[in-house]
Amino acid sequence: MWKEAVSLAAAAGAACVLRSEYEKKHFSVEVTEIISPKLERDRNLIFLSDLHNNEFGRDNGELVAAIHRLNPDAVLSGGDMMVCKGKRDIKVPLKLFRQLAASYPVYCGNGNHENRMVWERSLYGDLYEEYRDAMTAMGVSYLEDSCAFLGRDLRIAGLDLAPCFYRKALYQKVPPMPPGYLERKLGKGPSDCKEEPFTILLAHSPLYFDSYARWGADLTLAGHFHGGTIRIPGLGGVMTPQYQFFLPWCAGDFERDGKRMIVSRGLGTHSINIRLNNRPQLVLIRLRRA
């Protein structure tokens, strides 16, 4: 009996590994529509997050081809496009963005892996500046606690979160966001007046959606949680990279007081290299004028 149980467990484990390897290499395109009176015209945007040096085909050719088929008005990136855990490899995201910037306006914010190159200078030296300067030389709008415009009616802000907001919950308490933090980083937030531009915030971590909404972001784009690694129907994502379990906002579309947040499942993995019922995600955002 025990031999049968061991055999079944081994078969189930092997099936999970094979399924995970399949999912990691097959992304899905998922669409969200947002309507706002602040918009002067309709736009289609692509949102990328958490590539972590993953490649879909040579030089991410499959990913680039999918984006070309969707023909967006702009491409937005929410950060963590490489793996910075002792590694110094930035070639994969640079090759990807070089291809995209040749065809579309590209706006990039930082995740904790980009910021780690700044936080750990003794390990990474000037690698962050090398990466950022290469991106801006391509024409990418690189948003470090700053904003840029796409037309008169669409503002895109990029937020660099402090390292304390990325603490591992197993070892240290993850702090709340203090009052006024976003104002100190990005300035006064937008109002709900329809004459104001529609504001998109690239914030990477979805944990602080209430603060982002209070600041005035009409749409927050986040990732970071990799969809919760393993997704269970009815329960959602199991575990985040910060070792938080069954958080409701591991992935999906959320709303607070008329403000929206899209949390991408991301495109890659690191450290815990598993995806089950959790395919990588390319997000198409359809912005529509009310």
The average pLDDT across 119-147 equals 97
Whether residue 77 has pLDDT greater than 80: yes
Residue 250 phi, psi (nearest 5): -70, -30
Interatomic CA distance for residues 238 and 228, integer angstroms: 5
Whether residue 153 has pLDDT greater than 90: yes
With cut-offs at 50, 70 and 90, classify the pLDDT of residue 9.
low
Name the average pLDDT for the chain. 93
The average pLDDT across 141-164 equals 98
Select from 82, 80, 106 the least CA-distant residue to 92. Answer: 82
Whether residue 104 has pLDDT greater than 90: yes
User: In terms of C-beta density within 10 A (0-12 exposed, 13-18 middle, 19 or more buried), how is residue 25 classed?
Assistant: middle
Looking at residue 7, what is its pLDDT? Answer: 59
Interatomic CA distance for residues 54 and 95, integer angstroms: 12
Looking at residue 174, what is its pLDDT? Answer: 87
The pTM of this model reads 0.95
Maximum distance among all alpha carbons in the chain?
Answer: 71
Q: What percent of the chain has pLDDT over 70?
A: 94
Q: What is the pLDDT of residues 17-70, one digit of tens each?
A: 777 888 889 999 999 999 999 999 999 999 999 999 999 999 999 999 999 999
Residue 108 phi, psi (nearest 5): -125, 135
Looking at residue 214, what is its pLDDT? Answer: 97
Hey, is 96 helix, strand or coil? helix
Amino acid at 17: V
With cut-offs at 50, 70 and 90, classify the pLDDT of residue 6.
low
Interatomic CA distance for residues 86 and 144, integer angstroms: 23
Whether residue 10 has pLDDT greater than 70: no
Select from 148, 259, 253, 261 the least CA-distant residue to 204. Answer: 261
Whether residue 226 has pLDDT greater than 80: yes
Whether residue 131 has pLDDT greater than 80: yes
DSSP secondary structure string, 127-140? HHHHHHHHHHHHT-
Whether residue 1 has pLDDT greater than 70: no
CA distances from 160 to 44, 51, 77, 99, 140 (A): 25, 18, 13, 25, 17
CA angle at 115 for the pair 110 and 121, rounded to the nearest 5°? 155
The average pLDDT across 270-281 equals 90
Q: What is the DSSP letter of 11?
A: H
Whether residue 170 has pLDDT greater than 90: no
CA angle at 45 for the pair 96 and 144, rounded to the nearest 5°? 65
Domains of the chain as residue ranges with CATH: 27-289 (3.60.21.10)
Select from 150, 67, 44 the least CA-distant residue to 105. Answer: 150
Amino acid at 57: G
CA-CA-CA-CA torsion sign (246, 249, 255, 256): positive
The average pLDDT across 254-281 equals 94
Select from 209, 201, 211 the least CA-distant residue to 225. Answer: 209
Interatomic CA distance for residues 278 and 290, integer angstroms: 33
Whether residue 14 has pLDDT greater than 80: no
Looking at residue 3, what is its pLDDT? Answer: 66
Looking at residue 158, what is its pLDDT? Answer: 99
Is residue 60 within 8 A of residue 68, CB to CB? The reply is no
Residue 244 neighbours by CB distance under 10 Å: 17
Looking at residue 21, what is its pLDDT? Answer: 86
Looking at residue 13, what is its pLDDT? Answer: 67
